[in-house]
Amino acid sequence: MALRDRFKQSAQNVQTHLAAKKNDVTNGAFRDASMAMCALVAAADGSIGQAETAKLAQLIASNSVLQTFDKDDLQRRFHDNAKHLSTDFQIGKVQVLQEVGKARKKPAEARAVIQIGILIGGADGNFDVQERAVVREACFALGIPPTEFDL
């Protein structure tokens, strides 16, 4: 099986797992952490382009877990985090990882946040080195071993 096909299958498995956890991840901490994660992954290469913003819009529209929240509120939270990252990536990353860390108290939420990061990172079929690195950092912020997600 080609690498791209394996990645698509893995993303599909993550999406299925997220849908199964839908009732466990419907609070504000998850909402905040997931949008922070999306911004962090989108900015992993140093900037957030139209492609990353489009990936987020598609994720919000298609993900049954995120559909429980107001779409405009999710996008606003994403853009607020993106602004921190684009102003000064290193300082912004600290702030955004603190937002991600809000989900630490509930393991199901924490894992769902990481899974959303993986979905965003791989939406273009290439979960690159920078994206993997920031998701790995988010794992540490959430107290989850990155090896649990093969990072």
pLDDT in tens, the chain (151 residues): 444 455 455 445 555 555 555 555 567 899 999 999 999 999 998 778 787 788 888 888 888 888 889 999 999 999 999 999 999 999 999 999 999 999 999 998 899 899 899 988 887 778 889 999 999 999 999 999 999 988 8
Q: What angle do CA 144, 68, 135 make, to 5 degrees?
A: 25
Which domains are present in the chain?
27-149 (1.10.3680)
Burial degree of 79 (CB within 10 A; 0-12, 13-18, 19+): middle
CA-based nearest residue to 19, from 77, 59, 71, 57: 59
The Cα 29–Cα 144 span in angstroms is 17
Write down the pLDDT at residue 3: 42
Write down the pLDDT at residue 25: 57
Write down the pLDDT at residue 23: 53
The Cα 89–Cα 44 span in angstroms is 9
Write down the pLDDT at residue 1: 47
**pTM score of the predicted model:** 0.82
Write down the pLDDT at residue 123: 77
**Per the structure block, which two tokens stand in for 49?**
């382009």
Write down the pLDDT at residue 83: 94
